[in-house]
């Protein structure tokens, strides 16, 4: 169960990062509210998961999911470049996260 919560928390990290970008420095109400709700949920889920997952593994997986999710969101929705080197770097992050999960 902790791993499921950790993955969902990583996804919420992507949500709060995207909402923060859309909030224009927390000056727009709806994205700002989404930012705070997703941030609280993400942190709460991370805290719960770390009850049974080692901190180094849990934090790295959480950050990896958030980083890859946010980068993919930027490429898919915001028109950021999806170059081969960027995609390879994201694949390396995914490989590292998977390695941490399976070597846990």
- Quick one: pLDDT band at residue 97, thresholds 50, 70, 90? confident
Burial (CB count within 10 angstroms: exposed 0-12, middle 13-18, buried 19+), residue 64: buried
What pLDDT, on a 0 to 100 scale, did the predictor assign at position 7?
A: 95
The token pair at 34 is 């989404």
pLDDT at 101 over 90: no
The model's pLDDT over 41-78, given as tens digits with 9 standing for 90+, comes to 999 999 999 999 999 899 999 999 999 999 999 999 99
Write down the pTM of the prediction: 0.90
Domain that holds residue 48: 2-102
pLDDT at 86 over 70: yes
Cβ pair 62, 30 in contact under 8 A: no
Number of CB atoms found within 10 A of residue 55's CB: 9
Average pLDDT, stretch 20-37?
97
Number of domains, the chain: 1
């Amino acid at each position: 169960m902790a791993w499921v919560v950790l993955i969902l928390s990583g996804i919420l990290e992507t949500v709060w990062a995207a909402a923060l970008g859309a909030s224009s420095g927390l000056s727009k109400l709806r994205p700002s509210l989404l930012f705070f709700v997703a941030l609280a949920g993400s942190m709460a889920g991370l805290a719960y998961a770390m009850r049974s997952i080692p901190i180094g593994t849990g934090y790295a997986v959480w950050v990896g999911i958030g980083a890859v999710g946010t980068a993919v969101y930027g490429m898919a929705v915001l028109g950021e470049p999806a170059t081969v080197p960027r995609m390879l770097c994201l694949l390396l992050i995914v490989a590292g996260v998977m390695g941490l999960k399976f070597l846990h």
